[in-house]
Structures are given as C-alpha cells and as structure tokens.
Chain A
Amino acid sequence: MNKKLIVYTILAFALILVAIFAEHLCPFDPYAQDLALSYNAPSVEHLMGTDAYGRDMFSRIIIGARASILSTLALVAIITIFGTIVGVICGYFGGKLDSIVMRISDFFLAFPGLVFALAVAALLGGGIINAVIALAVISWPKYSRVARSQTLSVKALSFIQAAKLAGDTPVQIILRHILPNILGPILVTSMLDIGTMMMELAGLSFLGLGAQPPIAEWGSMMSNGRSMLQTYPWVVLSPGFAIFISVVIFNLLGDTVRDCLDPK
C-alpha cells in the first residue's frame, strides 16, 4: 500500500469530519458577540484571537469548514456527475447532439471562468448555494471534455463491439463497459479540482457573492478582516491559513491518487 495515499486520505477525512461535526468541536459559540473581547490577540484561551465583534476566531474557522469544505465537495460532486453524464452521452452517440453540446462547452471554456461565475452569482444574488450553482454552471464542461475523449478512445476498442454482439443495449454498454474504464481519469480530475474550487468559492465569498454574514466562511472572513491586516493580522491570516492547509491537503491527495492510477 502507498503510505502517502494513506496519510493524505486520513488528513482529508479529518478535514471532512471537522466540517461535519463542527458545532461539537467549537470551544466557543462562533456567533456569540462580546464587544469587550474585540480584537484580542491569540492566547491560550482564544487560539486564533478574536474578531471585531469579539467572536472566537478558532471556533469560527471550525464552523467555517462546513461552508467552505462541504460546499466545495458538493460542488465538485455535482460538476463531476453532470459533466461525466453529458460527456459520455456525447462521446458514445456522437452526431448532431455531440456537436451542439461541445460548442456550448467550448463557449464556457473560452470565457474566463471566474468572471462568468461573478456574473451568474450577481444575477442569482448572494448566498453560498447560489455561489455553488454559479461555479457549477461554468465548471462542468471540463468534465464533459475529459469524459467525452475517454469515451471515444474506449469506444474504439473491440470489447465494445463484442458487447454489441452479446446483445447489450447502449445503456448497458455505457454502464458495464465504458464507465468502469473511464472513471480513473475523471476521478483524478475531480480530486485535483477540489483545491481550485475551494479557492474559487472562497474568492466569490471574498467578493461578497458567496456566504453572507453572519455565516462563517473562510473567504468572507478574510474579506471582512482585510482592512485589519496590518493592525490585527490574525483576523485575516487564520482563515487564509485554513484555506491554504485544506487546498494543499486535497491537492496532495489528488496528485497521489493520480500517481497510483497511472504508475508511469
């Protein structure tokens, strides 16, 4: 077994568990305001200090993991599943449908993603769910491209023809023979995308189009504290550090999974 894979998987699961059980792990109520404690420096009691309203930063980082990590995972799951379904159908059946859908995906790929997401998010209004929808709308074409090209190369192999001769329907061929052979590259793409998506989601929140106050989310926490970077740096640095650590862990995991799936 690959040691790296085990370590990174454990770390990634630890992050996800923190996100799931966030409220049980917070030492303080992350939403309780106490102006007397505002901008306290990190101490033994408040590990990451407190923010403008005297809320414990450490608790807010933990509860923020929910919005940041879980919504990122939901986003990546949505675009992976949708993009794969579209790509496999286009690759397998080809024809006019394929041309039309691929031109649509070209349109999305040619446009700067985050700019488009900004427009969609602005249209839908703020909120973490709307931010996820906005990013999903612009991010699925990458997966449909990967799934389509993989489908085309698998489709040319003779076991697909053998399956036709065995009497498989197109749906059976896709489920039994194509999907199992293309899942590897798709999985790697989505693992490596977790970090990027987390940053884009945080980016939207930073710009005020994602999570809305008082919801704790790392991107919006950085945004709220950005004017205090020189005076009370922990208010900005701790959510930044949380994003950094999570992105690194998910990227390392994605890299390792890729190395495991194709050893060369």
Chain B
Amino acid sequence: MDDIIIVNNLSKNFKSRGKSDTLAVKNVSFCLKRGETLGIVGESGSGKSTVAKLITGLLKPSDGEVRIYDNAERLLSQKKALEFYSQIQMVFQNPAESFNPRKTIGYGIGEGLRNRGYSPAATATVVAELLEKVGLEPSIARKYPHQVSVGQCQRAAIARALAVKPKILVCDEATSALDVTVQKQIIELLDELRKSEDLSIIFICHNLALVQSFCDRVLVLYDGEVVEEGEPDRIINNPKAEYTKVLVDSIL
C-alpha cells in the first residue's frame, strides 16, 4: 500500500446556534503517498486548517473518512490515541502559542514521551537529542516560551512533533507567522528532516511560491472544495481553475 493517508469525501459542518451552519470542508478527497510532501494552498477561510484538524483527529468529520495506514479514524480511547499519535503529528501556526507559557520548552517536548512511559532521565536524554536534531542548544529545554525567539520556538515545536517518531507530519501554516529569513531556515530544516526521518508531510500554506519549491504535489482549496490538484510547476505555469489563476497572479 503506497498511500499512507486516504481522505474520502471529507466534509465538516460547523453548527452554530441561531445562525445557518457553516460548511467549512466540502467533499474533499485526496491521498498522501509515502515519502511525499503534499501542499495544500488556499486563502484564509478556505478550510485548510479544518482539513489539518480533521486529518489529525482534533476534529471529527461530519461526513466521509480519513484512513491512515488503512485504519479509519474513530473516537480514540487513550491507548489508541497514543498509538495513533505515534504515526501522525502536527506543527502549528503560531509558535508563541504552541507551548504552555507556564512550563519549560523541555516539558512540552517531553510530554508525549512521558505519556508513553519514559522515565524522567530517558525523556531528558531524548529531548536533548531532539533539540540537537532541529539545530537548537540543549539548554533551550530549561527555558520558558517567552525567553526564546519565535524561530527557536518553531524549531522546538518541530522537535516536539518528532519526539514520538511519527511517519506523517502535518504542518498547519508552520512558517506563516515567521519573517522570511526564519521561514527559509524552517523550510530547510523540514527538507532535511523529511529525508533523514523518512517523513511524509502535509504542508498547509497560503504562499504558493513557498509551496512550489518545497512540495511534490499541490492541492488548491477554495471555499472548502478542492478546485485543482497537480504538480506545483504545472499549477503555477498553467493554472486551470479560475481561483488558481487569481492565486497565481497574486504571487509577487
């Protein structure tokens, strides 16, 4: 089986009291092949983040299913959750919010390990290794989120995601909150890691230019629907859908 994630007719309907429901994701289907980096682009409100949360099980789909390693996602028991999240992890958009301000960075990175029965000493060792892997000093583990830069924070967030050795990484606008030089460093880090860690990546982004250099395949999302799918070069040079043309035109 080459497809490690299969998404079938995925829909998400947000119910809101008094107002009409919001259909954030409509009949989205796609797959992620092993070792592939799949970009998902679209404007704000196009449903990119909702798709990410549906894939990682943080939201339950209203309709359709997500199959990871051929296992359909279900309501996860604690043991199942640990197993599931050893396969797939996520990096979030805002680095400053992605660590608990009252706990050290090391605590955050080591959390998944401790939940899997690692001793404090073993956790500390692995955390130090992880920090080295993402190009950070081991001393960062003792610092609090407000004491480090956003770039360092995002590297630490990647280290946290890699702690449990997942095979799939979902990056939800992981570079959007960073300035361009830091953005480049993070992309380079992800590029290195996808080779060394044998990662398959779903890279969600609103910047088509960034996706072009980093992704093998791109999905264009508009108003919750997939409007175009294909190789980044083809999409940029020869966009078919109306929305994609607008998106390509907006590249500076």
Contact = CB atoms under 8 A, between A and B. Distances in A.
A129 B160 CA distance: 51
Interface in B94-124: 94, 97-103, 108, 111-112, 115-116
Interface string A60-92: 000000000000000000000000000000000
Interface in A127-169: 157-159, 161-169
A167 to B, nearest CB: 4
A46 interface: no
Interface of A, helix, strand, loop or mixed by DSSP: helix
A202 B6 CA distance: 67
A260 to B, nearest CB: 16
B100 A169 contact: no
A128 B92 CA distance: 53
A177 interface: yes
Contacts of A172: 115
A175 B41 CA distance: 36
Contacts, number: 63
A176 interface: yes
B243 interface: no
B150 to A, nearest CB: 13
- Identify which of A161, A166, A169 gathers the most chain B CB atoms within 10 Å of its CB: A166
Interface stretch (B27-35, B81-89, B192-200): B81-89
B92 A181 contact: no
A167 B78 contact: yes
Contacts of B116: 167
A161 B59 CA distance: 10
A180 interface: yes
A162 B58 CA distance: 10
B141 interface: no
B78 A162 contact: no
Contacts of A169: 78
Interface in A150-209: 157-159, 161-169, 172, 176-177, 180-181
A202 B34 CA distance: 71
A161 B92 contact: yes
Contacts of A164: 58, 81
A165 B89 contact: yes
A159 B97 contact: yes
Contact of B58 (A161, A166, A167, A180): A161
Contacts of A176: 100, 103, 111
A159 B82 CA distance: 17
Contacts of B92: 158, 161-162
B157 interface: yes
Interface of A: 157-159, 161-169, 172, 176-177, 180-181
29 contacts: A157-B97, A158-B92, A158-B93, A158-B94, A158-B97, A159-B99, A159-B100, A159-B108, A161-B53, A161-B58, A161-B90, A162-B92, A162-B157, A162-B160, A163-B111, A164-B81, A165-B89, A165-B112, A166-B85, A166-B160, A167-B78, A167-B81, A167-B82, A167-B115, A177-B100, A177-B103, A180-B100, A180-B102, A180-B103
